[in-house]
Amino acid sequence: MTALRPVTADITRAAAATGEAAGADEGAGRERAVLALDTLLDSDSPRIDGEDGERVRQLAELEAPLPPVLVHRATLRVIDGMHRVRAARLRGDDTIEAEFFDGGDTDAFALAVRLNIAHGLPLTQADRAAAAERLLRARPSWSDRRIAAGTGLSAGTVAAVRRRSTAQDEQLNTRVGRDGRVRPLRAAEGRLRASQVIAANPGATLREIAAVAGIATATAKDVRDRMRQGRGPLPAGR
């Protein structure tokens, strides 16, 4: 039984951490209910490798009731407590106590990350970086410090993840034609990017503008001519 004490301590901290997060998310005193296990959807887990089987077995051997899991009310998807859910299923339980979270999918994921950092089996560095990248894509307006606080990373690490994600997005938004030229998938975006290049460097050549914006030199010339005439970079109707 001694080997199970750390697990008991962890699930005690889990209950406390869930309550603390509830207060932080205006969810103090959130509704509880006993739910059938077969109605719950598996967690959208921040863990790249999923749950730890040994930990599930240890939890299943505990005689004490498991702390409530946290469930997204709108979808019945587990936000926090998948190890407890799997342990309950393993020992033949039909139900488990749960608390409800009311909010959007991204907010639910952000809460799952915070709770997994606060208690239990720690998230790996790779788990945290992947979570940060997902949050950056879903909430690009969130500051590096805000995401760092929620993922247990430094603001500098989040900034690096943001730069990498931005570079990947730019690659996804372009294509290489048969002539070897890189062009944006959306012509309007390329024209707007070209106008920014021209505004920042009026002396740039057409080849330079085209290369940076990912457009044809003829399009770069059209954008430059329009700007010289005091018109916008986009043709009418775009």
pLDDT digits (tens, 9 = 90+) for 7-43: 554 454 444 444 434 434 444 578 999 999 999 999 8
Is 224 part of any domain?
A: yes
Please state the pTM of the whole predicted model. 0.59
Contact predicate 121/86, CB 8 Å:
no
- 117 and 142 together in one domain: no
- 86 and 159 together in one domain: no
pLDDT above 90 as % of the chain: 39
- 94 and 35 together in one domain: yes
pLDDT digits (tens, 9 = 90+) for 52-82: 899 999 999 998 889 999 999 999 999 999 9
In whole angstroms, what is the distance from residue 17 CA to residue 116 CA? 9
Is 233 part of any domain?
A: no
Is 234 part of any domain?
A: no
**214 has pLDDT over 50:** yes
Q: Tell me the three state secondary structure of residue 63.
A: coil
pLDDT at 20: 38
- 13 and 109 together in one domain: yes
Beta strands in 25-160 (DSSP E): 32-36, 69-72, 77-80, 95-101
- 17 and 117 together in one domain: yes
- 41 and 108 together in one domain: yes
CATH number of the CATH domain containing 74? 3.90.1530
**206 has pLDDT over 70:** yes
Is 15 part of any domain?
A: yes
**180 has pLDDT over 70:** no
**Containing domain of residue 182, as a range?**
173-228
- 115 and 11 together in one domain: yes
- 178 and 162 together in one domain: no
In whole angstroms, what is the distance from residue 193 CA to residue 189 CA? 6
- 117 and 13 together in one domain: yes
Is 238 part of any domain?
A: no
pLDDT above 70 as % of the chain: 78
pLDDT at 167: 59
pLDDT digits (tens, 9 = 90+) for 142-167: 888 999 999 999 999 998 888 887 65
The residue ranking higher by pLDDT, 36 or 215, is 36
Is 235 part of any domain?
A: no
- 12 and 114 together in one domain: yes
Total domain count, the chain = 3
- 64 and 151 together in one domain: no
- 82 and 31 together in one domain: yes
In whole angstroms, what is the distance from residue 82 CA to residue 153 CA? 23
In whole angstroms, what is the distance from residue 203 CA to residue 66 CA? 68
Is 106 part of any domain?
A: yes
pLDDT at 189: 80
Is 40 part of any domain?
A: yes
